Structure 1
Amino acid sequence: MAEAYENKPTSRIMIGDQAPLSMYLREIENGELISIPQICAKDNSKSTLFVFLRHFNCMFSREHIRELENTPAILDQLNVVIVSNFEKDAIKEWKQKVNTTLPMYMDPELDLYKIMGFSETANTKAKTFFKAIILSMKTRSIPQRSGRDTPGHLGGNMIVDKEGKVTYLYRSESPDDRPLPYDILKSLR
């Protein structure tokens, strides 16, 4: 896999930048590498929203996916794909538990996460922890951890337009920090 990343960017991506053309994710079904432009080209009539998950047990990531899927305007205007560092079997389990049909891709070494500037957080505030407990009680779902779980890593969102430019970038600052679907839609105007 190292050869796939020979030309990977070395600086953080910003709004207005070209999407990282030389970065690859792994497809779940066959494990093959696929580039960001190839993912976007699957339906290039719309821009693509990449949703970067935190970790396998993150209730805030799960809730964010549910919010996006329950916002018809998001699904009408954007191709939504999920990026995770989970292992293949964990992704399949996660998709089933969350009940999502959105396509998911693997970034096992967090290469794209790093280029996107999604940071790690060493401390999770007690308030965030209690919010997660309440959310898990509400959804009645607490999954087991994946072998490659990264609870300290934060996620975010990125929109790549039809020309391959980054038009929206949201870097979470805490585990419960995710953009509202409305804010994502506002960025499309």
Structure 2
Amino acid sequence: MKEKIENIQNKIDILSLKRLTVLSEKNDIIPFSSFWEKGQVIIIFIRHFGCPSCKAHVSDIWNQQSKLKNKRIIFIGNGQPSMIKGFKEEINSPSVEIYTDPSLETFEACGLKRGLRYLMNFKSIKSLLDLKRRGYDMSSWDDQLGDKTQMGGVIVLKKPGVLLYHFVSSYLGDFDSSKDWKTVDIS
């Protein structure tokens, strides 16, 4: 792992995460802390439900699930709960565990970036063109899909809310290429 555990604890606001909630596809309110209370968890934040890079990222990770040694993987977007079903259908993964936080509070508590400068830059444009060549395209835009300027990231947590890994995307299509979060011992 790139950083020792004690050096990354201050990268997220764990006290806020313990009080924050996300929404399920059926609009149920889920305490964020319930994810790590059930045991080890990898939480992957996606930009929004219309994002072509998010579709590619979730599909790639979900297709590698068997290699991840039965680690629990949760995806969190920021559109309306009603958009989750369509996202799952688009990526052809009905059993993937996806929640949403339209308030963006969990994104902020995890130290994830947000702003037009992260979306409108050379790396984002290059990534978008590469994704288009792979067959991933932007959905027709609807504000219910989420915030276009929100970036994603990866956190790995274990009980009682100990952060083991942290990655923050800096542009559209910026995925953690390291294998650190896939191999971190979260037992």
Which TM class, normalised by the smaller chain length? 0.7 to 0.9
What is the CA–CA distance in structure 1 between the aligned matches of 2:175 and 2:135, rounded to whole Å?
A: 18
What is the CA–CA distance in structure 1 between the aligned matches of 2:153 and 2:96, rounded to whole Å?
A: 16
What are the ranges of 5 or more consecutive residues in structure 1 without an aligned counterpart?
Answer: 1-11
Counterpart mapping for 1:18-167 below 5 A: 20-29=17-26, 31-41=27-37, 43-44=38-39, 47-71=40-64, 72-74=66-68, 76-100=69-93, 101-123=95-117, 124-148=120-144, 149-167=146-164
CA drift at 1:59: 2.0
Change (3 A) 1:84 1:15: closer
Residue of structure 1 aligned with 2:182, choices 162, 182, 185: 185
What is the root-mean-square deviation in Å for CA atoms of aligned residues? 2.5
What is the CA–CA distance in structure 2 between the aligned matches of 1:92 and 1:51, rounded to whole Å?
A: 18
| CA-to-aligned-CA distance 1:73-95 (integer Å, 9 cap, x gap) | 22x24211111111122211111
| CA-to-aligned-CA distance 1:37-72 (integer Å, 9 cap, x gap) | 32334x53xx11111111233222222212211222
CA drift at 1:140: 4.9
What are the ranges of 5 or more consecutive residues in structure 2 without an aligned counterpart?
Answer: 1-8
TM-score normalised by L of structure 1: 0.79
TM-score normalised by L of structure 2: 0.79
**How many residues were matched structurally?**
173
What is the CA–CA distance in structure 2 between the aligned matches of 1:178 and 1:143, rounded to whole Å?
A: 20
What is the CA–CA distance in structure 2 between the aligned matches of 1:139 and 1:34, rounded to whole Å?
A: 34
What is the CA–CA distance in structure 1 between the aligned matches of 2:155 and 2:63, rounded to whole Å?
A: 19
Quick check: 136-145 or 50-59, which moved more? 136-145
CA drift at 1:177: 1.2
The runs of 4+ residues in structure 1 deviating greater than 6 Å are none
Percentage of matched positions with identical amino acids? 17
